[in-house]
Amino acid sequence: MSTVATSQIKLTPERSRTSVRSRLQDALPKIVLAPSFAITIVFVYGFILWTIYLSFTNSKTFPSYVITGSRAYQRLWGWTFDTDPPSSWYTSITNMGIFGFLYILICLALGLFLAILLDQKIRGEGVLRPIYLYPMALSFIVTGVAWKWFLDPGLGLEQTLHQWGWTSFHFDWIKNKDFVIYTVVIAGVWQASGFIMAMFLAGLRGIDGEIMKAAQIDGATTFQLYRRIVIPLLRPIFLSAFIVLAHLAIKSYDLVVALTSGGPGGSAWLPSNFMYEYTFKRNEMAVGSASAVIMLMTIVAIIVPYLYSELREKPR
Amino acid sequence: MLRKLLIGTALATSFAFSAHAADVKEVQMLHWWTSGGEAAALNVLKGDLAKEGYAWKDVPVAGGGGDAAMTALKAMVAAGNYPTASQMLGYTVLDYAAAGVMGDLTETAKKEGWDKSVPAALQKFSVYEGKWVAAPVNVHSVNWLWINKAVMDKIGGTEPKTFDDFVALLDKAKAAGVIPLALGGQNWQEATMFDSVVLSTGGPEFYKKAFNDLDDASLKSDTMKKSFDNLAKLVTYVDPNFSGRDWNLATAMVIKGDALVQVMGDWAKGEFHAAKKTPGTDFLCYRFPGTDGSVIYNSDMFGMFNVPDDRKAAQVALATATLSKSFQSAFNVVKGSVPARTDVPDTDFDACGKKGIADLKAANEGGTLFGSLAQGYGAPPAVANAYKDVVSKFVHGQIKTSDEAVTELVKAIDDAK
């Protein structure tokens, strides 16, 4: 031991020793990050490229590697305007629009509202907060099945109210081709709004009390206080919440399957359902891949400008 | 740095592939028969193989249902890691055979006489370019009515022989305040019922031309339009809550006497058996009115993969045991289907099973055994699913008239071909 130590002192001059160590220190984060970096490169970006490639082939059951042109995209483009009767693709993208818009909007509004109410220094907040947050701990499958039973006219809400004597009550959205997508919104909002509430609550707690007091002294009403001061200060939370909700909305596949099993005549499909159906059940891998690419492009088109406008350095 | 990483990854994967412990005395089996009756039926096969010294190894699949299993199989085959055999349906067998990953059991087939005993219509899916690539396990047929006998007696109904009889019977049930028709509003159930409606409306020749040969003229004919009209008529007899219901819940409605009849494949019989009901006294099985003498089938197959030579003996043993008369009888008695070979004695089967066996034999000899389009035995999955879309959209009102339905059907099938 001591020989090693002495030899080190003798043989390595001070400067080079520190440089070895510092080089190691420099490299350490890279070494630690390398495996996850490699995995991400291959399994996320590699497969994105692979999917794009497949969408230009004529892959059916199995991937084929001969590029045959953009027939898959042409078919999807044709289906986009097949409105009467609606093609599965048309149904999927309009549902995505309805679901995405309402889901994100209601979750943000409800989450903010609940957070503001909970922030009024009320008693029992410690009990209420987890109650609202808890649905997020459930998987979409559980949420879907529970709401399926609850919304089923022969089983859940309608049946119960009929037994209690309110026989004119009628709520069969889940069986109705035109309204089934709104039941997906209901179940989705129920699950996610508590989580969004927790995010906003954290944001509200981070606001400096002095600002609030100053505003109150200046005579601001509670509404003005929230409208002019609190909500603008929560802007970063809106960004995070939006991104969380947007990706939850885009990848909602299991909720639709568990809640509606596709809906009457496939009327509850989202693009992810379309992608899975065509790739794995109909053996039209090229069409499935093309729809996945379109989903990706849509997300990119929405998220990138938003991120850019929110995250760039603001000129001061 | 990146290059080194890639080399490392490549090395690691090549290790994983070479570490392949081969065990000759073992059958690797991918299937989704996990529910009580099915699992019990499969145990018969496990026992038969154990007697010959072959161990049974299930290939685990996360999540039930055939879709998850097929996705798992695709991944295994893509990785070059073939199971000995896999439960497969219809065109999937042919797809895999065309990809060149299936084995060849022709020798065994010759020795066991499968050519003669397995119906020719089934051989379309188990034989690829003259080579046996799969062993059929059973034959299901879909053109059945399942009727609650107590309700039938109460309304004084008799066996309907024509479509009009059937409508009259449904009217009687409606008048008596029973739900006439139990239907699950999922696309495959609606399309399975429509298979029977088309056979009943157009007759065997028409069914074959339209739904097996995909003949354009038949698909857009007036007979097809009439079939959609008949379907629309049937749909007026379902309860308002039918949409999205699982098939076994619809069967339960008939078992409990809430509904009179369900149009469903013979797997429904398993539900009646599980509820301790006997055919003839508790429930009745009739052919869908106007389809007597014809059988619309689907079939479970064990696809045999091109495994390494040291595993071939186990594969042959599995295939032989699967098509042995004793297993065919024991398995199908439990499953509700009928044996995939026509020379199995029907002694152990109940009344419905006996009728099913006789019908299959007659249909095979008379050339009236047709693949079910809804179940993926009439055309490849892309076409079959396009068909289910159209039928389901018609039932649920996205497609409003039978004229429009016919146009859409032709368009969808052309597009998917």
Q: How far apart are CA B256 and CA B101, in angstroms?
A: 47
**Which of A58, A261, A285 would you mutate first to test chain B, the one with the most B CBs within 10 A?**
A261
Q: Which amino acid is at B192?
A: T
**Residue carrying structure tokens 């440089």:** A19
CA–CA dist B380, B57 (Å, integer): 30
Topology of domain B141-297+368-416 in CATH is D-Maltodextrin-Binding Protein; domain 2 (3.40.190)
Residue matched to tokens 């099993």: A261
- Report pLDDT for B150: 96
Mutation target to probe the A interface, by most A beta carbons within 10 A, among B243, B409, B410 is B243
Residue of B nearest to A88 (CA): B389
Say what the ipTM of the complex is: 0.82
DSSP A269: -
pLDDT of residue B15: 43
pLDDT above 60 (res A262): yes
Nearest to B305 by CA among B59, B50, B49, B42: B59
CB contact under 8 A, B244 and A30: no
Enumerate chain A positions whose Cβ falls within 8 A of a Cβ in B: 30, 34, 38, 42, 60-63, 75, 85-86, 88, 152-154, 172, 174-175, 177, 260-267, 277, 280-284
Q: Which residues contact B368 (CB under 8 A, 6 or more apart)?
A: B204, B293, B294, B295, B362
Distance from CA of B381 to the nearest CA of A (A): 5
Query: Hey, are the CB atoms on A86 and B71 less than 8 Å from each other?
Result: no
- pLDDT for A14 equals 57
Residue A83: band (very low, low, confident or very high) from pLDDT cuts 50, 70, 90: confident
pLDDT interval class at A155 (50, 70, 90) = confident
For residue A252, give the nearest of A96, A78, A117 by alpha carbon. Answer: A96
Q: Report the chain B residue with the minimal C-alpha distance to residue A87.
A: B389
**What's the confidence (pLDDT) of residue B13?**
45
CA distance A98 to A82: 18
Cβ atoms of B73 and B30 closer than 8 Å: yes
- Listed in sequence order, the residues at least 6 apart from A117 whose beta carbon sits closer than 8 Å to its beta carbon are none
Helices vs. strands in chain B: H and E counts, helices first: 19, 15
Q: Which residues of B274-292 are buried (b: 16+ CB within 10 A; e: fewer)?
A: eeebebeeebbbbbbbbbe
Please enumerate in sequence order all residues whose Cβ is within 8 A of that of B116, keeping only pairs 6 or more positions apart, or say none: none
Chain B hits for A175, CB-CB cut-off 8 Å, are: 185, 240-241, 243-244
The residue in chain A having the minimum alpha-carbon distance to the alpha carbon of residue B412 is A87
Give the containing element (helix H, strand E) for B301: strand B300-304
> What pLDDT is stored for residue B74 in this prediction?
86
Between CA B34 and CA B120, with CA B285 as vertex, the angle to 5 degrees is 70
Assign domain B25-140+298-366 to its CATH architecture: 3-Layer(aba) Sandwich (3.40)
Tell me the β-bridge partners of A67: A57
Copy the structure tokens of residue B335. Answer: 């499953």
- Domain chopping of chain A, boundaries: 18-54, 71-311
**Angstrom distance (rounded) from CA B126 to CA B118:** 10
Superfamily of domain A71-311: MetI-like (1.10.3720.10)
Residue % of chain A over a pLDDT of 70: 93
Q: Identify which has the larger pLDDT, A247 or B296.
A: B296
The answer to whether B265 and B298 are in contact (CB under 8 A) is yes
The pair phi, psi for residue B74, each rounded to 5°, is -60, -40
Look-up of token digits 């024509």: B162
Residue type at A233 in one-letter notation: L
B232 chain-A contacts, CB cut-off 8 A: none
Answer whether A125's CB lies under 8 Å from A118's CB: yes
CB contact B195 to A (< 8 Å): no
Give the sign of the dihedral formed by CA B240, CA B244, CA B247, CA B249. Answer: negative
Check residue B9 and give its pLDDT: 47
The first and second tokens of residue B271, run together, are 């539900």
Residue A53 CA neighbour count, 13 Å, CB half: 10
pLDDT (0 to 100) of residue A64: 85
Residue A281 has its nearest CB partner, among B2, B385, B395, at: B385
The span from the CA of B257 to the CA of B280, in Å, is: 15
Asked if B415 reaches chain A (Cβ–Cβ under 8 Å), the answer is yes
Contact list in A for residue B400 (CB cut-off 8 A) is 85
Residue B405: which residues within 8 A CB-CB, separation 6 or more? B225, B228, B390, B394, B399
pLDDT of residue B2: 46
Pick from B170, B149, B173: which is nearest to B279 by CA?
A: B149
* Of A30, A62, A263, Cβ closest to residue B99: A62
Contact A265 B78 (CB under 8 A): no
How confident is the model at residue A280, as a pLDDT?
Answer: 86
pLDDT at B253: 95
Q: Are strands B85-89 and B26-30 parallel, antiparallel or unpaired?
A: parallel
- Contact assessment for residue B416 and residue B386, using Cβ atoms and an 8 Å cutoff: yes
**Tokens read off for B363:** 């249909």
- Predicted confidence (pLDDT) per residue in B148-198, tens digit: 999 999 999 999 999 999 999 999 999 999 999 999 988 999 999 999 999
Q: What is the pLDDT of residue A16?
A: 64
For the cut 60, the answer to whether the pLDDT of residue A307 exceeds it is yes
Q: For B241, which of A63, A153, A260 is closest by C-beta distance?
A: A153
Weakly modelled stretches of chain B, pLDDT under 50: 1-22
What is the mean predicted confidence (pLDDT) over A107-135?
89
How far apart (Å, rounded) are the C-alpha atoms in residues A239 and A230? 15
Average pLDDT (A134-147) is 90
* Mean pLDDT computed over A279-306: 89
- How does pLDDT run across B96-105, given as a tens digit for each residue? 999 899 999 9
Minimum mean pLDDT range among A87-96, A124-133, A144-153, B163-172: A124-133
CA angle B125, B129, B131 (to 5 degrees): 80
Please check whether residue B410 touches A, CB under 8 A.
no
Bridge-based pairing state of the strands B300-304 and B259-263: unpaired
**Chain A touched by B382 (CB under 8 Å):** yes
Q: Give yes or no for a contact between B354 and B329, defined as CB atoms under 8 angstroms apart.
A: no
Residue B312 burial (C-beta neighbours within 10 Å; 0-12, 13-18, 19+): middle
Helix axis angle, A180-205 relative to A140-151, nearest 10°? 130
Q: Residues 6 or more apart from A104 whose CB is under 8 A from it?
A: A242, A245, A246, A249
Determine contact, residues B176/B159, Cβ cutoff 8 Å: no
Quote the pLDDT of residue B22. 47
Q: What are phi and psi of A9, to 5 degrees?
A: -65, -40
Which residue in the set B9, B95, B408 is minimally distant from A38, CB to CB?
B9
State the pLDDT at residue B171.
96
Q: Delimit the CATH 3.40.190.10 region(s) of chain B.
A: 25-140+298-366, 141-297+368-416
The answer to whether B25 touches B314, Cβ cutoff 8 Å, is yes
